[in-house]
Structure 1
Amino acid sequence: MLHFSPIRTIVILIVALLGVLSAVPNFLSRDTIAVLPDWLPKQQMVMGLDLQGGSYLLLQVNREGIVTESLTKLRRDARTVLANQNGIGNIITTQERSITVELTDPSQLDAARQALETLQVNITGSIFAGVGTPEYEYSTTPDGRIVVGLTEAGVTERMSSIVSQSLEVIRNRVDELGTTEPIIQRQGADRVLVQVPGFEDSDRLKDIISRTARLTFHLVYPGMTAAQAEQQGLPPGTMIVPSAEGGAELLYEDVAIGGESLVDSQPGYDQQTTRPVVTFRFDTRGALTFGEITSRNVNRRFAIVLDNQVITAPVIQQPITGGTGQISGSFTTQSANDLAVLLRAGALPATLDIIEERSVGPSLGADSVRGGVIAGIIAGVTTIVFMLIAYGTFGIFANLALILNIVMMVGALTLLGATLTLPGIAGIVLTMGMAVDANVLIFERIREEVNNGRTSVQAIQAGFTNAMSAILDSNVTTFIAAVVLFYLGSGPVQGFAVTLALGIMSTLFTAYFITLLIVGRWFAWKRPKTLKVQLTRFIPDNTKLPFMKWSRAALLASMILSVVSIGLFAVQGLNLGIDFKGGSSIEVQSNDGPADPARVREVLGALDLGDVQVQGFGAPEDLLIQIEAQSDDDTEQQAAVEQVRDALTAENYEIRRIEAVSGTVSGELALSSAIGLSVAVLGILIYLWFRFEWQFAVGAVVSTVHDVVITLGFMSLTGIEFNQSSIAAILTIIGYSLNDTIVVYDRVREYMRKYRKIPMPALLDMAMNSTLSRTVLTGPTTLMALGALVIFGGEVIRSFVLSMIFGVLIGTYSSIFIAAPILIYLGLRSRPEQVDAPPAKERRADGAAV
């Protein structure tokens, strides 16, 4: 094992070199990267919104808007196909999801139905003609009326089709803003996710993205005002549309010409009034149509309608044959420019509602990067020093592997194009604490083999071989939690999951291949007669702590703590964040010294937004404001955020971070979180069942549930906000707890094969005492890394890290006092048939019996 073949060595070095080369650009300036040779990697990691600022929007197709628009089109088409094309007199009324056609001549029922059935549309994304979902369903009432309704499947398919069309429109609009590296992608059947890093004006971005920008031109109905039509009844084929200047206009329903005929749109200024306007130009066909319409309707009013609002309705003074025109209204220079952008990019096929918003100011992003880097440096230095103190020369080997591990993680994140988030930095820092665990397991096994009288070569080989089972099992269970977390979460939480998963893979690679390669080369060079693996002993050899004697008291204490935690959860509940209850969370910073919470409460209280909480958040200048969900109407939630923004800007506060989540999204997150946790526990249970006996699997799950319940009790007691990051913390705690538990279980399984006559309580004591040194060494490195994050990582991530610190402590406790003794109650016994020979007493190097 110590003598790697040249090919194996070359492969390991190539993989490590690729990881290093991929990571290097992240530590260089852009100017330096530009002059590097072309064959070298130049890609850098993508910073998340929480690190560089920017906006995140989740938009959903408005289902009611789709239904309304479809019914309007259906009514217009039905009138055309019946009266205009077939001369069938009719009266059409509109219901919630259908239209009813009453014929003036009932004898034409069959002809009318045949004509209406020609309107049927099969909506599909299939490439096969004739395959699709019918949009309409037809029926006839006993009194001879025809009912044409929208099918539920048709509406759903229409929404899915609209999402596909909207992606390109949104991408064109964002590109017009000049932003770099936006992420625009479909999410589910009816949603679009938009992330625009580095774009500070989130209000403008929302307006640009969410506005439908449907431009249509309609003739104004002559001889009757909108007010008269409301009193006397609408003339056939007309509609009332609100005006931008107040009031309303009575327009013909038929679209004279649509915005789809536009080929260009630019902001400009009216030559006579010097007010901002938007000029537009039609394509050839549109220019001809526009010229014909204006020629036939000189001295009539012609309305320009944008998103169901009349922008202007001037009188046609003369035919407009050049195919150009202008839109005037109450524009500012920026609003005229934005409208021109919208018209150039094209109209959205339907209204998109903002159901989730997260925006971060650049100053907060810079603070997060600074805090994360400081926490990472401190965690790295403390871990390196600790390993040097503990293992000396072997500590140097572990540190080299650790440094390469982190560099390879960065390289992998870069190669994959993954987005680095603040929780992602936490994942890297956490990996520093947990990555040494594999090396500690290996070194402790080498030391045990030396004490058992093996030669140096045998001890090294046996140490790596025997430790790999525990390393693999413990890391696979954590990997399962990371995978579930990736599919469960979104944004920063997914970033944490990706970092954690990559950290596990790089840890396995560096712990086995790199550390073994380094140790093998060192041994071939030095040829030491004796191995001194550990420099400083924190736990004496041959400890005989009676864990099983303490287990009953510990189990009783755990039962009491669990009952108290469940009681706290039932009575007090959790301090749910907006991720799970909906609402808005806004972080602000005073520009005039320490913030004044009382004044902010007074200002926001006057806005009548319901429950508004204002509290200190980190530095004296910072405040966190939480606003309850306004209603099921997403637009009201957005309006509330704008009111708070305007009010606090007037008070000289800087908006650093905004999160707004609708009730729809929060409910989905709560359900998906519960499902995700259940799937994670089930997946781990199945894996352990295959790898161990069923008692081990059940014991591990019981221990894990114990840790989760008590951690939830801790969150309820302390009032730590429970949000998506809390789910990430719980899944990480599950992984860490299982890591500890499996190390103990692996040793129990080994001793069961070796010592068939030892009673189970004594065997469990032996197993836990033999792994105690590893627990004492791994725990502090993880806690030191997490402690650095608490101090320097920033307020946004503090509750997340505090929960993990508590979980690490409770997980270490449960692996000893819950997971191990429960094996006895589950009836686990040694299996004599697995032992080929009676166990011989092992002896340490000094000759004493073990």
Structure 2
Amino acid sequence: MQFSPVRTVIIAIVSLLGILFALPSFLPENVRDSWPGFLPRQTVVLGLDLQGGSHLLLQVNESGIVSERLQSLRRDVRNTLANDNGIGNLIATDEATRTLTVELTDPTQKETARTAIAALQNTISNSLIAVGGVNELAFGETPDGKLTVTLTEEGVSERMSALVAQSIEVIRKRVDELGTTEPSIQRQGTNRVLVQVPGFGDSQRLKDIISRTARLTFHMVYPGMTAAQAEAQGLPAGTMVLPSQDGGSELLYEDVALGGESLVDAQPSYDSQRNIPVVSFKFDTRGAITFGQITGANVGKRFAIVLDNTVITAPVIQQPITGGSGQISGTFTTATANDLAVLLRAGALPASLDVVEERTVDASLGADSIQHGLTAGVVASVLVIAFMVIAYGLWGVFANVSLILNIILIFGALSMLGATLTLPGIAGIVLTIGMAVDANVLIYERMREEQRSGKSPIQAIQAGFERAWGTIIDSHLTQLIAAIVLYFLGSGPVQGFAVTLALGILTSLFTSYTVTSYQVHAWYRATRPKVLKIQHFRFIPDGTKIPFMKISRYVIAFSIVASVLSIGSAYFKGFNLGIDFVGGTAIVIQHDGGPADVGQVRELLDGLELGEVQVQGFGTPEDVLVRVQAQEGGQDADQVAVTKVRDALATENYTVRSTEAVSGTVSSELAWKGTMAVVIALVAILIYIWFRFEWQFALAAVTTTTHDVIMTIGLFSITGLEFNLTSIAAVLTLVGLSLNETVVVSDRVRENLRKHRKMPLPELIDLSINQTIVRTSLTQFTVFLALIPLVLFGGEVIRSFTIAMTFGCLVGMYSSIIVNGPILINFGLKSKTEEDKPTPKAADGASV
């Protein structure tokens, strides 16, 4: 009973650090600012769903990069051959094959031309320490003797990766110009950038600021011919036609006379003579000199200012402009002039970025989500704490102290790691509250068994902690595997759920064993009781002898029928898929003058020609969810649809609280990742249990869990609950919880196989289930005490998640108790007596 001083110090230090790191999240900012410098001030970072803001996932436009690079390469090839070597040529471009075909007017100069073009080879590398790089170009020849220059696949990939890195810096400058606080800008994969801006609710403006390329170039206008004439007669060499802002088009020289990279400043201003907003710009010294030379040499000619391949203005040069400054005028408002100045100051994006995922949450909806989460958390905590005291008395108090410390450590770890807390993350914490007492119940029930077997109180305490520890490790690690898979294959809020669940599992291992052990040992040294009075209440009395294996055939038949119905419903009826998986736009609106009229909303939207539009209630009577199918034309068309919905509903006092737009590309990726997450989790857990138990236990556990997954997925299909990313999180969490129960029973079966070597296997499995069913009923009840408040108070956003979790826990408890055993027998598990029997031999010595 001597508790190591080192362990005492470790508990004290960990508890103190947890409190210090968690406390700032619950204190006002002025109190945190007055703290001494050596104390932590970092708070838990709230996700956008809790504080409002905008989330954009941007993807580099590969076709745009290829098109632009081919255009640039075409100019380089033409200049190299014609200007530098005097070789006449005709160049054709094929964007599908990423190839330039060069036809020489004098075929005898082919080798000279080939050598000249080969000098354009470029190597690209994104690594600072890499030597060389990949070749961007491949050179060849067509069967009829024409030279070809092709962009290599590796070169395009490397260029895209490099452009993403450059884009992140430009985006950061642009967002900083907006004056927002704590934006998150990070790379995702090789060709995407994730931008999250808390507190910035105008997603359309943010998207315009971030995703516009803002490439400013200056070109001379081709004289003596209009764009229409050029398109009818054929473009002169080295020219191009670009649309103009006024709806027309202009014929320009391809060569860039001056680029926007020479700009050093851009500011919105006002032209008092014309009474219009303009943007004033200023060049650096080199740019000013070049600008002066161009305007001086082309007085009386037109000079076009081009922004993102659109001619903003093309005035006639009246006189040389030598001051290095000028104005851009167009159809600007004060706001758009200011935004353009922001873009020009931050610099042009090196590549076009497409918005493939967009989520916006109003601050008021975020506040509601926090309120829902806190309410569910407080109610769940009170219920679990009260139940543990009722069931275990003083021992319940020990468990509750560990539970409270567990919650503190979770918040402390979130603060220390700078992790983001989302609404599903709050659900993960609430779920941890229900699961955290599981280890304590395992320990306490083991103590009661050891005491009933005749051991003294001190022996029962020691055996309770020691023998329960292996089971606790197995059950927690299976849940941790599911959380890790969820983190790496999930995204956004789902990753937030995975983080809090994983942290809760790790902190629970520490508090439920080490901290509870410390309290129990301190209490024993102080009181020295003759008998341990641990449990005061239980659902199932001790010594039950329910014949589970005798009724198993009926249960298995029921499970088979239910599984077939679930699969059949999924196949024939399908699912109510969220936009995470099908693409489109989801808009949550709120009626300002009382309950919303769903029928009225549907009538207002019927004439907008947006394709399939679904309108349904969303939680409170005032809220309505509008789902619009993905529009033809991509994200720009989706944004137009959101604007149409907002304008149509504004007349009836409806305000938009959140929007969520997902492209078809992202939705198909999320569907694939979700499926793979479930499969990978099951395989990983199969390997772990196979390593820890016999193979029969591993296959039985995965078969039982697969049964639970099928039943839960069937619930989504049969009831029409929305199936989205959080549903995948629910299924994976269910995998962990179901295996938790299965592992506890399997661990007892394995122990009894060693203890009761002559007992028939069906009787041994019955004995094992009856020995653990008291613990199972108590732990499942505490999980339900945590889940029910989430269902009732957690809000509509995670409603399908919490309902699926609650149903899944019921199915998991049922399957681990009564389905897993028969599967073990069918997979060939044998008692030790059967294993020890010699294999009978035939007369000739062969085995029979």
Q: Spell out the pairing of 1:51-70 with structure 2 (5 A cutoff).
A: 51-70=50-69
Deviations 1:88-131 (A, max 9, x none): 12222222222222222222222122211221111212446862
In the TM superposition, residue 142 of structure 1 has moved relative to its aligned partner by: 4.2
Q: What does residue 508 of structure 1 align with?
A: 509
Q: Spell out the pairing of 1:678-689 with structure 2 (5 A cutoff).
A: 678-689=679-690
Q: Spell out the pairing of 1:446-461 with structure 2 (5 A cutoff).
A: 446-461=447-462
**C-alpha distance 80-751 of structure 1, shift in aligned 2 (>3 A):** same
Q: Provide the rounded CA distance (Å) in 2 between the counterparts of 1:715 and 1:657.
A: 24
Q: What does residue 839 of structure 1 align with?
A: none
Q: What does residue 20 of structure 1 align with?
A: 19
Report the 3-state secondary structure (helix = DSSP H, G, I; strand = E; otherwise coil) of the residue aligned with 1:42.
coil
In the TM superposition, residue 282 of structure 1 has moved relative to its aligned partner by: 0.8
Deviations 1:584-616 (A, max 9, x none): 111111123222222322332222121111111
Q: Does the 8 Å contact 2:126/2:161 carry over to 1?
A: no
Q: What does residue 596 of structure 2 align with?
A: 595
Deviates more, 1:241-250 or 1:526-535: 526-535
Q: Does the 8 Å contact 2:538/2:778 carry over to 1?
A: no
Q: Spell out the pairing of 1:250-261 with structure 2 (5 A cutoff).
A: 250-261=251-262
Q: Provide the rounded CA distance (Å) in 2 between the counterparts of 1:830 and 1:13.
A: 46
Q: What does residue 410 of structure 1 align with?
A: 411
Q: What does residue 179 of structure 1 align with?
A: 180
In the TM superposition, residue 708 of structure 1 has moved relative to its aligned partner by: 0.6
Q: Does the 8 Å contact 1:264/1:281 carry over to 2?
A: yes
Q: Spell out the pairing of 1:610-759 with structure 2 (5 A cutoff).
A: 610-631=611-632, 633-759=634-760
Q: Provide the rounded CA distance (Å) in 1 between the counterparts of 2:180 and 2:640.
A: 25
Q: What does residue 168 of structure 2 align with?
A: 167
Report the 3-state secondary structure (helix = DSSP H, G, I; strand = E; otherwise coil) of the residue aligned with 1:609.
coil
Amino acid at match of 2:457: S
Deviates more, 1:89-98 or 1:794-803: 89-98
Q: Does the 8 Å contact 1:277/1:328 carry over to 2?
A: yes
Report the 3-state secondary structure (helix = DSSP H, G, I; strand = E; otherwise coil) of the residue aligned with 1:358.
strand
Q: What does residue 577 of structure 2 align with?
A: 576
In the TM superposition, residue 650 of structure 1 has moved relative to its aligned partner by: 4.4
Amino acid at match of 1:68: S
In the TM superposition, residue 531 of structure 1 has moved relative to its aligned partner by: 1.2
**C-alpha distance 744-632 of structure 1, shift in aligned 2 (>3 A):** farther
Q: Spell out the pairing of 1:105-184 with structure 2 (5 A cutoff).
A: 105-127=106-128, 131-184=132-185
**C-alpha distance 705-833 of structure 1, shift in aligned 2 (>3 A):** closer
Amino acid at match of 2:22: A
Q: Does the 8 Å contact 1:562/1:706 carry over to 2?
A: yes
Q: Does the 8 Å contact 1:387/1:399 carry over to 2?
A: yes
Q: What does residue 43 of structure 2 align with?
A: 44
In the TM superposition, residue 834 of structure 1 has moved relative to its aligned partner by: 10
Amino acid at match of 1:568: S
Q: TM-score, normalised by structure 2?
A: 0.97
Q: Does the 8 Å contact 1:58/1:194 carry over to 2?
A: yes
Report the 3-state secondary structure (helix = DSSP H, G, I; strand = E; otherwise coil) of the residue aligned with 1:821.
helix
Q: What does residue 71 of structure 1 align with?
A: 70
Report the 3-state secondary structure (helix = DSSP H, G, I; strand = E; otherwise coil) of the residue aligned with 2:820.
coil
Q: Percent same amino acid among aligned pairs?
A: 63
Does residue 1:481 correspond to 2:482, yes or no? Answer: yes
Does residue 1:246 correspond to 2:224, yes or no? Answer: no
Q: Does the 8 Å contact 1:629/1:662 carry over to 2?
A: yes
**C-alpha distance 129-321 of structure 1, shift in aligned 2 (>3 A):** farther
Q: Provide the rounded CA distance (Å) in 2 between the counterparts of 1:363 and 1:130.
A: 53
Q: What does residue 91 of structure 1 align with?
A: 90
Deviations 1:164-200 (A, max 9, x none): 1111011111111111111111111111111111111
Q: Does the 8 Å contact 2:586/2:659 carry over to 1?
A: yes
Q: Spell out the pairing of 1:483-502 with structure 2 (5 A cutoff).
A: 483-502=484-503
Q: What does residue 846 of structure 2 align with?
A: none
Q: What does residue 843 of structure 2 align with?
A: none
In the TM superposition, residue 150 of structure 1 has moved relative to its aligned partner by: 1.8
**C-alpha distance 453-422 of structure 1, shift in aligned 2 (>3 A):** same
Q: Does the 8 Å contact 1:100/1:148 carry over to 2?
A: yes
Instruction: Give the CA RMSD over aligned residues.
Output: 1.5
Q: Provide the rounded CA distance (Å) in 1 between the counterparts of 2:583 and 2:633.
A: 10
Amino acid at match of 2:62: R
Does residue 1:779 correspond to 2:780, yes or no? Answer: yes
Structure 1 unaligned residues grouped into runs of 5+: 836-850
Does residue 1:384 correspond to 2:385, yes or no? Answer: yes
Q: Does the 8 Å contact 2:758/2:832 carry over to 1?
A: no
Q: Provide the rounded CA distance (Å) in 1 between the counterparts of 2:776 and 2:753.
A: 21
In the TM superposition, residue 244 of structure 1 has moved relative to its aligned partner by: 0.6
In the TM superposition, residue 759 of structure 1 has moved relative to its aligned partner by: 1.1
Q: TM-score, normalised by structure 1?
A: 0.96
Q: Provide the rounded CA distance (Å) in 2 between the counterparts of 1:139 and 1:599.
A: 65
Amino acid at match of 1:703: T
Q: Provide the rounded CA distance (Å) in 2 between the counterparts of 1:224 and 1:600.
A: 53
In the TM superposition, residue 833 of structure 1 has moved relative to its aligned partner by: 11
Q: What does residue 843 of structure 1 align with?
A: none
Q: Provide the rounded CA distance (Å) in 2 between the counterparts of 1:600 and 1:77.
A: 57
Deviations 1:754-801 (A, max 9, x none): 111111111111111111111111111111111101111100111110
In the TM superposition, residue 464 of structure 1 has moved relative to its aligned partner by: 0.6
Amino acid at match of 1:405: N
Q: What does residue 364 of structure 1 align with?
A: 365
Q: Provide the rounded CA distance (Å) in 1 between the counterparts of 2:140 and 2:60.
A: 29
Deviations 1:266-305 (A, max 9, x none): 1111132232111111111111111111111111111110
Deviates more, 1:532-541 or 1:174-183: 532-541
Q: Provide the rounded CA distance (Å) in 2 between the counterparts of 1:636 and 1:27.
A: 43
Q: Provide the rounded CA distance (Å) in 1 between the counterparts of 2:243 and 2:633.
A: 24
Q: Provide the rounded CA distance (Å) in 2 between the counterparts of 1:243 and 1:650.
A: 35
Does residue 1:831 correspond to 2:839, yes or no? Answer: no
Q: Provide the rounded CA distance (Å) in 2 between the counterparts of 1:214 and 1:742.
A: 60
Report the 3-state secondary structure (helix = DSSP H, G, I; strand = E; otherwise coil) of the residue aligned with 1:55.
strand
Report the 3-state secondary structure (helix = DSSP H, G, I; strand = E; otherwise coil) of the residue aligned with 1:771.
helix
Q: Number of aligned residue pairs: give it.
A: 834
In the TM superposition, residue 145 of structure 1 has moved relative to its aligned partner by: 2.4
Q: What does residue 841 of structure 2 align with?
A: none
Deviates more, 1:17-26 or 1:127-136: 127-136
In the TM superposition, residue 575 of structure 1 has moved relative to its aligned partner by: 1.1
Q: Provide the rounded CA distance (Å) in 1 between the counterparts of 2:716 and 2:328.
A: 57
Amino acid at match of 2:51: Q
Q: What does residue 276 of structure 1 align with?
A: 277
Q: Provide the rounded CA distance (Å) in 1 between the counterparts of 2:603 and 2:143.
A: 63
Q: Does the 8 Å contact 1:353/1:635 carry over to 2?
A: no
**C-alpha distance 288-31 of structure 1, shift in aligned 2 (>3 A):** same
Q: What does residue 768 of structure 2 align with?
A: 767
In the TM superposition, residue 632 of structure 1 has moved relative to its aligned partner by: 7.2
Deviations 1:789-822 (A, max 9, x none): 1111100111110000000000000001111221
Deviates more, 1:458-467 or 1:82-91: 82-91
Does residue 1:101 correspond to 2:96, yes or no? Answer: no
Report the 3-state secondary structure (helix = DSSP H, G, I; strand = E; otherwise coil) of the residue aligned with 1:616.
strand
Q: Provide the rounded CA distance (Å) in 2 between the counterparts of 1:644 and 1:92.
A: 48
Report the 3-state secondary structure (helix = DSSP H, G, I; strand = E; otherwise coil) of the residue aligned with 2:821.
coil
Q: Does the 8 Å contact 2:618/2:796 carry over to 1?
A: yes
Deviations 1:596-646 (A, max 9, x none): 222322332222121111111111211111111224734333333333333
Q: What does residue 845 of structure 2 align with?
A: none
Q: Spell out the pairing of 1:190-589 with structure 2 (5 A cutoff).
A: 190-589=191-590
Q: What does residue 808 of structure 1 align with?
A: 809
Report the 3-state secondary structure (helix = DSSP H, G, I; strand = E; otherwise coil) of the residue aligned with 1:595.
coil
In the TM superposition, residue 227 of structure 1 has moved relative to its aligned partner by: 1.1
In the TM superposition, residue 721 of structure 1 has moved relative to its aligned partner by: 0.8
In the TM superposition, residue 526 of structure 1 has moved relative to its aligned partner by: 1.7
Amino acid at match of 2:65: I
In the TM superposition, residue 339 of structure 1 has moved relative to its aligned partner by: 0.6
Deviations 1:249-275 (A, max 9, x none): 111110010011111111111132232
Deviations 1:31-59 (A, max 9, x none): 11111111211110000000001111111
Q: Provide the rounded CA distance (Å) in 2 between the counterparts of 1:497 and 1:277.
A: 49
